[in-house]
C-alpha cells in the first residue's frame, strides 16, 4: 500500500466525501496555517493580558484560540481572525 492509498483511506474514514475536501477530515493546508497563526496570536494576547492584568486582551486571546474549532470555511477563518486581531490594537475609549 502506498502513501496516497493510505491517505485516501484515512480521509474516507473521516466521513462521507472526506477525500475530496482537503487533507484529513476536510482540513486544507490554508485552514491549518490560519488556525495555527491565529492560535499563536491568541496565546500571545492572552499572555500579555494576564501579565498586565487586562481583561480585554485575555478575552480576545481566548477567542482567537477557540474560534478556529467552530469555523471550517477558510475565508471566514481569515476574516474573523483579522477582525479579532485588529480589535487587539483598537484603542478603548
pLDDT in tens, 32-47: 999 999 999 999 999 9
Residues whose CB is less than 8 angstroms from the CB of residue 81 and which lie 6 or more positions away in sequence, other chains included: 34, 37, 38, 41, 64, 67, 68
Confidence (pTM): 0.71
For 44-77, b where at least 16 C-beta lie within 10 A, e where not — what string?
ebbeebeeeeeeebbebbebbbebbeebeebeeb
Indicate the domain borders of the chain: 26-89
State percent of the chain over pLDDT 90. 57
Amino acid at each position: 500500500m502506498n502513501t496516497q492509498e493510505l491517505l485516501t483511506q484515512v480521509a474516507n474514514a473521516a466521513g462521507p466525501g472526506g477525500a475530496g475536501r482537503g487533507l484529513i477530515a476536510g482540513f486544507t493546508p490554508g485552514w491549518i496555517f490560519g488556525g495555527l497563526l491565529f492560535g499563536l496570536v491568541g496565546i500571545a494576547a492572552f499572555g500579555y493580558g494576564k501579565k498586565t492584568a487586562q481583561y480585554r486582551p485575555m478575552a480576545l486571546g481566548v477567542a482567537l484560540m477557540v474560534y478556529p474549532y467552530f469555523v471550517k470555511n477558510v475565508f471566514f477563518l481569515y476574516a474573523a481572525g483579522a477582525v479579532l486581531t485588529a480589535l487587539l490594537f483598537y484603542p478603548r475609549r
